């Protein structure tokens, strides 16, 4: 499904590197470009790692030269003139919007064309300002897109939003299947393992819980290592926790990989123990390469991806014995595991790019 004209779309993101929201924004540019739109991108930070399509304005380069109040004002003027020059059909803003004064200026004075505000996080403190009244004022009549139904319900009620709906994040299956084929010699010596891949952020990802559950499980005794793949602020703290639990030989740390899919493909299963998410793409990416998942049913997203005992295991609550038992089931009950593995890829057909593209085209063409 393609657009019938070359409407100019501006995609704004904090960056196009590192995080899941940023990866989704980059993929958004590819999807809308492939749909026939004329795509432009604005990056607030000078972090460009993911593939994208369109003309890029990297405000981060200006930030690197002058990171001051005056510099911020100058960057706002650059963005204002950029928007005015190109006469965009609409702006799709993927940033977190937590600074009250900045969001007031951007929403009320900078964005003078129809704007779609995408929220990638269920945690309101990570998605909106701390002022409930201001969020209502700024976004009550704006188009707000959430990436899970749970988030839509939560934010609609919290801020009395009149025009909020869910459009799921997508994945590029063709690209992922090609990335899986890339050789990685490091995998040859790993043996059997389960995998967490994502940011090493304890407050968000709850990784000490995962370590304790792994310690209590039968996985290590049965020869399954645990690999934590990623970078983040709490890496040293997690390494110390592994030593405290005497798991140095069983738990391995791997740095962030631009292409993690060979690791994901070879994993026996992947895990998610987060306190909160938006729409956890690590679950989608794992299922896309045929690897089942075990996840805490956190807010939000996992229950909209995982069908319990069909493509993975969905664990309610944060009792260590429950998550430990789920991991044990997957290594001891081969019938259950093989059934989940068989259903992985077909269970996420609805999230493929061609399906999600239709939702975006419909929305943009109504503006």
User: How is the chain split into domains, by residue range?
Assistant: 8-170+352-365, 173-350
pLDDT at 183: 78
The pLDDT of residue 20 is 85
Task: Return the closest-CA partner of residue 30 out of 52, 13, 57.
Answer: 52
Round to whole Å and give the CA distance between 237 and 77.
Answer: 41
Q: Name the DSSP class of 267.
A: S
- Beta strand pairing call for 143-146 and 115-119: parallel
For residue 257, the model assigns a pLDDT of 87
Q: Are 224 and 194 in contact (CB under 8 A)?
A: yes
- Comparing CA positions, the residue from 174, 163, 172, 169 lying closest to residue 138 is 163
Q: Residue 353 in 3-state DSSP?
A: helix
* CA pair distance 107, 130, nearest whole angstrom: 16
Are the CB atoms for 117 and 146 separated by under 8 Å?
Answer: no
Question: Of 284, 265, 294, which is closest to residue 348 (Cα–Cα)?
Answer: 284
One-letter-per-residue 3-state SS of 267-311:
CCCEEECCCECCCCHHHHHHHHCCCCEEEECCECCHHHHCCECCC
pLDDT for res 5: 64
pLDDT at 184: 81
Q: Which CATH architecture has domain 8-170+352-365?
A: 3-Layer(aba) Sandwich (3.40)
pTM of the predicted model as reported, rounded to 2 decimal places? 0.91
Closest Cα partner for 301 from 273, 271, 278?
Answer: 278
Between β-strands 225-229 and 193-197, what pairing exists: parallel, antiparallel or unpaired? parallel
- Please tell me what DSSP assigns to residue 161: -
Closest CA to 20 of 315, 311, 296, 256: 256
Separation of alpha carbons 150 and 303, rounded Å: 9
User: Which regions in the chain score pLDDT beneath 50?
Assistant: 1, 3
Please give the C-alpha separations between residue 219 and each of 116, 215, 315, 355, in angstroms, as whole numbers.
Answer: 45, 8, 18, 38
Assess contact for 18 and 51: CB atoms under 8 A. no
Q: What is the CATH number of domain 173-350?
A: 3.40.50.2000
Rounded Cα distance, 286 and 309, in Å: 16
Would the CATH topology of 8-170+352-365 be identical to that of 173-350? yes
Q: Phi then psi for 179, rounded to 5 degrees?
A: -65, -35
d(CA 133, CA 122): 19
Answer yes or no: are the C-beta atoms of 253 and 196 closer than 8 Å: no
């Amino acid at each position: 499904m393609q657009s019938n004209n070359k409407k100019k779309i501006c995609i704004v993101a904090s960056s196009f590197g590192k995080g899941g929201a940023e990866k989704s924004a980059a993929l958004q540019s590819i999807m809308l470009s492939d749909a026939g739109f004329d795509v432009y991108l604005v990056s607030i930070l000078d972090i460009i790692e993911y593939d994208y399509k369109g003309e890029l304005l990297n405000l981060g380069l200006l930030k690197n030269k002058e990171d001051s109040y005056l510099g911020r004002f100058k960057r706002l003027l650059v963005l204002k003139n950029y928007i005015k020059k190109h006469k965009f059909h609409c702006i799709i803003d993927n940033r977190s919007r937590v600074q009250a004064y900045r969001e007031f200026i951007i929403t009320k004075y900078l964005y003078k064309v129809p704007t779609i505000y995408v929220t990638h996080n269920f945690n309101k403190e990570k998605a909106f300002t701390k002022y409930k009244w201001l969020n209502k004022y700024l976004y009550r009549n704006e188009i707000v897109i959430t990436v899970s139904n749970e988030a839509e319900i939560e934010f609609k009620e919290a801020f009395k939003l009149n025009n909020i709906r869910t459009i799921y994040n997508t994945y590029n299956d063709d690209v992922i299947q090609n990335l899986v084929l890339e050789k990685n010699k490091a995998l040859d010596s790993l043996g059997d393992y389960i995998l967490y891949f994502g940011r090493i952020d304890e407050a968000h990802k709850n990784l000490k819980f995962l370590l304790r559950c792994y310690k209590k499980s039968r996985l290590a005794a049965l020869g399954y290592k645990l690999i934590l793949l990623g970078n983040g602020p709490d890496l040293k703290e997690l390494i110390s926790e592994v030593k405290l639990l005497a798991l140095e030989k069983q738990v391995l740390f791997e740095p962030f990989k631009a292409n993690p899919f060979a690791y994901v493909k070879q994993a026996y299963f992947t895990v998610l123990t987060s306190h909160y998410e938006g729409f956890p793409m690590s679950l989608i990416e794992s299922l896309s390469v045929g690897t089942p998942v075990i996840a805490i049913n956190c807010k939000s997203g996992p229950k909209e991806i995982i069908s319990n005992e069909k493509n993975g295991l969905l664990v309610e609550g944060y009792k260590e014995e429950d998550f430990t038992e789920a991991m044990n089931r997957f290594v001891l009950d081969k019938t259950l595991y093989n059934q989940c593995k068989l259903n992985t890829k077909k269970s996420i057909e609805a999230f493929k790019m061609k399906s999600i593209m239709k939702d975006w085209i419909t929305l943009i063409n109504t503006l």
